[in-house]
């Protein structure tokens, strides 16, 4: 029986989600590090280039998410100013290090970096800088794609080689997952990456709450409750988190 294209995409997503959540050791280790970081007054830094920046936005100022998240969101590396230019910039050596060195990462902190291919200079440099400061680096990437291409950084490294823990989104090479008459459509990296990221943070919150530690979680700003909690967290961290 021939399935409708949307059903093919649904099957693809469900298959990849199952594979992604079988990375139990990686999920639990990443969550443990995040819980320990927050317990020791560290921060969660996060970034990504191109569409991967959405994973950084996903956990920033988010209902049900941690307050101590610092996203490194550089407009030229995003898509809303010039999508094609962002592709050029993410390949530019020196840009990533110049960007991240403005943030005071330390051994108390976590750096979460997402890149589907893991081959471009900016995320590689950012991960390398975070490691040099002693921060734990959590990478979300597409290992099949990364293994199929050469690095665009002069070091020859790819992003997964710099991760203290690496989570695979089990995407297709090129990201699109459904073939229709020779055309590939239906990217999966964002859906799977976000699910993995939220799973890690949920696990980390559970670890903190189990120990009786205030996890400092944002509530929905559009609900009837939680405004007081949100305002307290915003007031506490606004001077430390750009964009809050």
Q: How far is CA 186 from CA 58, 84, 107, in A?
A: 20, 20, 38
Query: What does the pLDDT average to over 49-72?
Result: 96
Query: What confidence score (pLDDT) does residue 1 get?
Result: 59
Evaluate whether residue 244 is within a structural domain.
no
How many structural domains does the chain have?
1
Query: What confidence score (pLDDT) does residue 224 get?
Result: 79
Query: Do residues 138 and 165 touch, judged by C-beta distance below 8 A?
Result: yes
Q: What is the pTM of this model?
A: 0.96
Check residue 74 and report its DSSP letter: -
The token pair that represents 158 in the structure block: 């790819």
Evaluate whether residue 71 is within a structural domain.
yes
- CA dist 81 and 134 (Å) reads 33
Tell me, what CATH number does 192's domain have?
A: 3.40.50.10490
Evaluate whether residue 243 is within a structural domain.
no
> What tens digit of pLDDT does each residue of 64-114 get?
999 999 999 999 999 999 999 999 999 999 999 999 999 999 999 999 999
What are the residues facing 183 on neighbouring strands? 180
Domain containing residue 50:
5-237
Q: Using pLDDT thresholds of 50, 70 and 90, give the confidence band for residue 158.
A: very high
> What tens digit of pLDDT does each residue of 182-223 get?
999 999 999 999 999 999 999 999 999 999 999 999 999 888
């Amino acid at each position: 029986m021939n399935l409708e294209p949307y059903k093919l995409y649904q099957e693809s997503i469900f298959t990849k989600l199952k594979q992604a959540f079988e990375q139990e050791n990686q999920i639990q280790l990443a969550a443990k590090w995040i819980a320990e970081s927050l317990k020791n007054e560290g921060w969660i830094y996060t970034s990504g280039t191109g569409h991967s920046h959405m994973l950084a936005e996903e956990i920033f100022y988010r209902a049900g998410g941690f307050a101590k998240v610092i996203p490194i969101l550089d407009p030229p590396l995003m898509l809303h100013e010039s999508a094609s230019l962002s592709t050029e910039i993410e390949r530019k050596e020196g840009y990533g290090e110049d960007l991240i060195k403005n943030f005071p990462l330390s051994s108390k902190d976590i750096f979460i970096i997402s890149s589907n291919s893991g081959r471009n200079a900016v995320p590689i440099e950012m991960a390398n800088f975070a490691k040099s400061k002693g921060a734990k680096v959590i990478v979300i990437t597409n290992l099949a794609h990364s293994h199929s291409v050469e690095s665009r950084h002069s070091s020859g490294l790819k992003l997964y080689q710099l991760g203290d823990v690496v989570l695979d989104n089990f995407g297709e090479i090129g990201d699109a997952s459904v073939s229709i008459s020779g055309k590939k459509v239906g990217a999966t990296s964002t859906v799977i990456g976000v699910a993995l990221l939220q799973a890690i943070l949920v696990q980390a919150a559970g670890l903190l709450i189990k120990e009786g530690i205030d996890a400092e979680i944002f509530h929905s700003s559009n609900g009837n409750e939680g405004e007081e909690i949100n305002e307290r967290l915003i007031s506490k961290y606004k001077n430390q988190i750009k964009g809050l």
